[in-house]
Structure 1
Amino acid sequence: MATTPTPHNGAIEGDIAKTVLMPGDPLRAKFIADTYLEDVRCFNTVRNMLGYTGTYQGVPVSVMGGGMGMPSIGIYSYELFNFYGVESIIRVGSAGGIADEVKVRDVVAGMGACTNSNYAHQYQLPGTYAPIASFDLLERAVAAGRDQGVELKVGNVLSSDTFYDDNDQATISWQKMGVLAVEMEAAALYMNAARANKKALCLLTISDLPLKGESLSAEERQTSFTQMMEIALAVAIQE
């Protein structure tokens, strides 16, 4: 294990639980810690990318922001997997729903993550890599959702490098291929997990429908995604 702290994480070895929930927004990490965890301690404030460890139903769980985009979550998840001994990361984020059957506030589980990113280039693979979730985490998330009365929508998501895309037909093209929702991080997380032989899952709450013009406010995105958070926590304590 590499030396800690790292350039991006002020934690030392032992500060972080084996399972980490990772929202993009550090304030959502604080919300999860304040709302759900007991005996909470803050392990990171570097760059205001807040990280906390506590217990949920007696089991150690950590939560830490991952930022926006694949370069950001790529750094934070890489360090958690490779420097801090983290075994599982569950991304809990927001997404734009693009499939016809996806509605605002639905919870989507990214079984696979399509991408327009060049993140996989670093692995020098002789072909196209297909980033996928841990089936173990995915199976437990679906079961936890059903226990809580939430039917997850499971399928492909798109991890995009662009939020404002110059090609106004791009989203429709991905919709035609059955992609459920668009976000910006899952593919990098899944690739980092695969390379480190660890587990990852992306859970998403639909915050807007870009093709229909529906959306939630920034405050609602930060504090109201409780169904997704509770499903992720139920999965975390089974690790």
Structure 2
Amino acid sequence: MTRLNGKIAIITGAARGMGASHARLFINEGAKVMIADILEEDGQVLARELGENAKFVKLDVTKAANWEEVVSQTEKEFGPVNILVNNAGISMNKSIEEITEEEYRRIVDINQISVFLGMKAVLPSMKKANGGSIVNISSINGLVGGAIGYTDTKFAVRGMTKAAALNLAHNGIRVNSVHPGVIETPMISQADSKDIIKEFAKHIPAGRVAKPEEVSNLVLYLASDESSYSTGSEFVIDGGLTAQ
């Protein structure tokens, strides 16, 4: 398949989970992919698995200088960047009474500030490429309430997406947000979340939790030229959960 033939992509949080799923599909569709993650071993294993069109680079998404290095390395390896998928994120199942300021700021840095830093860092490269597509992975908790910290930052990603889309439309750069519901990833298998998610899944109209590949198909559409008139929009993939 060649829906992304000739495209150069950076995907954050791509060493495992949804990010790895996105990377596999992008490679299958003809893209060259920079797998960017803090998890070195997992990222290197995936890059080797995916072949010569995939490379791994260690990225702390909270560091602007690190972002600049990743963009520079991607250009050296593959060329100017056409696609950025801001996928990295964390969650924490604590109440506002329980969560510490340090924990809260960590969630903000990883889920929210990183999206700003990534978009800003990739812009010069996308201008060289005469346009591009930025896909920001938010959540249904960017539309409805949920855990403190996680919900806050996912709402922020939704707002940043709209603001950036308006800023960048004249550069031929599209920016959209994806809002997954409950997806089978390592994040929902965490000890403090697993039982809650299992119970919550019973209330999904589709009757099941989604596979990462189902989200990847939507991300692929937004990354490709097929979605050329979509920008500043929210794309929900939740099995009907927020339609109730």
Q: TM-score, normalised by structure 2?
A: 0.39
Q: TM-score, normalised by structure 1?
A: 0.40
Between 1 and 2, higher relative CO (CA 8 Å, sep ≥ 6) is seen in 1
Q: Which has the higher helix share?
A: 2
